[in-house]
């Protein structure tokens, strides 16, 4: 039998591989810009890739070569400055570096017993986010994997709270629970509803794309008895529209209902002076999320989930078992207790380190610079004969049309740019019609880059 420790020994071969990996990571971090790269059909990948997961292994050097030569180029660099589709990512180098440290540190971020130091730092960030939103002392939560998990976990806590309060009042629960959200809300909310087996009351938005308290009143009508939460969106994915949070909070107060804000992409806008006012009312919500991997310049994957009253999140989510009692039967802050998860990476640390390195002021400036680029390119689009701005950007998403173009024209234009490795700008849809969309969350996405894209739309008819 060979040595069972052979994978865990720090021998010369592993030391050499370690240096190669650090070199790879160092080189990748310093690419400015990185190659855009793109996905590849499975059959092509299969044809290029040898079997890698084998009984005896292929060796780290070979695996790294395959990653660098085949697998990485078949995965888009979502931090490319001309990647403006979906919601891109633009981690600071400090945050990426610290992600490596988190991996190397083997910290269990689920319990204070095991991860106190890391959790202390993560909680500093959560407290800072809560304070920026105006939530009272004591607000807090946890970093979860992404906005989908954050929304689900908040809604589970909201329903738990509603059921608990009904039980205390000696009342029975409704035949079906539901939550309220705008028709523009992210798909993760419909998914949460399916997972929780609850219904969604969809609220129409106004001409400005925003959901208001008055529209909620109208949509819910006599059904308040079955509503356990209202979800306002703090920056829709397609347009970056922020619901009228202040009026939503007022309506929720009238009906003693939980308000959650899905700010996965957009809530970072509260850090920039020009977009902060869009979030008026956020101080009155019961929970919110914001994803550091979207507009807070951190690597995948993380979502800050914050509760006004974390004890509700804790009561809703703590898992109980004899082997967990030592962790859970304490007053200490166990991040696992606040969401749908148990084992967890201390995924808030990359943002913590980058904030500590650069200061909050640098974040405010970077986010404001994204807003300014969005407004500048919107102004240019508005004045262009061949383009039509669909609406003024509220945050850093700009949606527009190329006049006279069909879906095929948009697809051909975006395919050509993508094939050439120049840009990832895929058509989206608004009211069933194709549109183009720039999602600007990368400080390297300059006005010049967007101007070039806008200019290239002139060439074709």
Judge contact between 128 and 119, C-beta under 8 A.
no
Record the tokens describing residue 106, joined without a space: 């083997």
Tokens 């030569």 belong to residue: 69
* 187-196 and 147-168 helices, crossing angle to 10°: 50
Q: Which of 303/346 has CB closer to ligand PLP? A: 303
CB of 4 to ligand PLP, least distance (A): 39
Q: Which of 216/303 has CB closer to ligand PLP? A: 303
Rounded to whole angstroms, the Cα distance separating 177 from 189 reads 14
CB of 233 to ligand PLP, least distance (A): 6
CB of 156 to ligand PLP, least distance (A): 15
Q: Which of 75/330 has CB closer to ligand PLP? A: 75
Tell me the HSE value of 375 on the side-chain side, using a 13 A CA sphere. Answer: 10
CB of 265 to ligand PLP, least distance (A): 4
Q: Which of 181/327 has CB closer to ligand PLP? A: 181
CB of 189 to ligand PLP, least distance (A): 8
Rounded to whole angstroms, the Cα distance separating 426 from 414 reads 6
CA dist 140 to 92, 150, 309, 360, 389, Å? Answer: 25, 13, 7, 19, 39
Judge contact between 85 and 437, C-beta under 8 A.
yes
CB of 56 to ligand PLP, least distance (A): 38
Q: Which of 237/247 has CB closer to ligand PLP? A: 237
Rounded to whole angstroms, the Cα distance separating 461 from 452 reads 17
Q: What angle do CA 282, 168, 339 make, to 5 degrees?
A: 45
CB of 148 to ligand PLP, least distance (A): 3
DSSP conformational letter for 234 = B
CB of 86 to ligand PLP, least distance (A): 7
CB of 19 to ligand PLP, least distance (A): 34
Q: Which of 291/368 has CB closer to ligand PLP? A: 291
Q: Which of 398/457 has CB closer to ligand PLP? A: 398
| Core vs surface per residue 114-123: b (16+ CB within 10 A) or e | ebeebbebbb
Judge contact between 235 and 261, C-beta under 8 A.
no
CB of 147 to ligand PLP, least distance (A): 3
Q: Which of 227/397 has CB closer to ligand PLP? A: 397
Among candidates 442, 392, 145, which has minimal Cα distance to 264?
Answer: 145
**Nearest residue to ligand PLP, by Cβ distance, number only:** 147
Terminal C-alpha separation, the chain: 70
Which residues form the interface with ligand PLP (CB under 6 A)? 87, 146-148, 186, 188, 233, 237, 262, 264-265, 291, 303
Judge contact between 153 and 313, C-beta under 8 A.
yes
Judge contact between 139 and 130, C-beta under 8 A.
yes
CB of 294 to ligand PLP, least distance (A): 7
Judge contact between 140 and 333, C-beta under 8 A.
yes
Rounded to whole angstroms, the Cα distance separating 39 from 76 reads 6
Q: Which of 143/228 has CB closer to ligand PLP? A: 143
Q: Which of 233/334 has CB closer to ligand PLP? A: 233
CA dist 242 to 83, 233, 269, Å? Answer: 23, 6, 10
Q: Which of 92/182 has CB closer to ligand PLP? A: 182
């Amino acid at each position: 039998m060979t040595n069972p420790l052979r994978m865990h020994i720090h021998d010369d071969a592993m030391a050499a591989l370690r240096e190669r990996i650090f070199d790879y990571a160092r080189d990748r971090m310093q690419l400015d810009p990185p190659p855009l790269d793109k996905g590849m059909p499975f059959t092509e990948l299969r044809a290029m890739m040898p079997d890698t997961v084998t009984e005896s292994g292929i060796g780290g050097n070979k695996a790294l070569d395959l990653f660098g030569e085949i697998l990485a180029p078949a995965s888009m660099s979502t931090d490319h400055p001309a990647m403006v589709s979906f919601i891109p990512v633009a981690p600071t180098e400090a945050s990426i570096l610290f992600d490596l440290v988190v991996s190397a540190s083997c910290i269990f971020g689920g319990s204070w017993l095991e991860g106190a130091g890391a959790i202390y730092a993560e909680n500093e960030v959560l407290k800072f986010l809560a304070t920026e939103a105006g939530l009272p002392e004591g607000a807090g939560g946890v970093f979860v994997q992404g906005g989908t998990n954050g929304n689900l976990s908040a809604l589970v806590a909201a329903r738990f709270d509603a059921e608990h309060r009904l039980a205390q009042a000696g009342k029975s629960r409704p035949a079906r629970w539901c939550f309220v959200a705008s028709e523009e809300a992210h798909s993760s909310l419909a998914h949460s509803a399916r997972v929780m087996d609850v219904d969604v009351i969809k609220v129409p938005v106004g001409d400005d794309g925003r959901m208001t308290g008055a529209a909620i009143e109208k949509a819910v009508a006599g059904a308040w008895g079955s509503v356990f939460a209202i979800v306002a969106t703090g920056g829709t994915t397609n347009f970056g529209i922020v619901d009228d949070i202040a009026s939503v909070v007022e309506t929720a107060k009238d009906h003693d209902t939980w308000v959650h804000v899905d700010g996965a992409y957009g809530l970072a806008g509260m850090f920039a002076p020009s977009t902060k006012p869009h979030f008026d009312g956020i101080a009155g919500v019961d929970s919110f999320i914001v994803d550091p991997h979207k507009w807070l310049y951190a690597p995948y994957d993380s979502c800050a989930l914050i509760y006004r009253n974390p004890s509700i999140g804790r009561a809703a989510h703590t898992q109980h078992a004899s082997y967990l009692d030592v962790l859970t039967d304490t007053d200490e802050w166990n991040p696992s207790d606040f969401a749908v998860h148990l084992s967890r990476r201390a995924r808030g640390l990359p943002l913590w380190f980058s904030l500590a390195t650069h200061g909050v002021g640098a974040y405010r400036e970077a986010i404001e610079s994204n807003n300014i680029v969005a407004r500048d390119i919107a102004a240019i689009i508005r004045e262009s004969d061949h383009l039509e701005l669909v609406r003024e950007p509220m945050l850093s998403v700009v949606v527009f049309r190329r006049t006279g173009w069909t879906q095929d024209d948009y697809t051909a234009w975006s395919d050509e740019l993508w094939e050439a490795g120049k840009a990832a700008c895929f058509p989206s849809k608004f009211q069933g019609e194709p549109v183009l969309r720039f999602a600007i969350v990368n400080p390297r996405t300059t006005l010049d880059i967007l101007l070039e894209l806008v200019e290239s739309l002139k060439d074709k008819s």
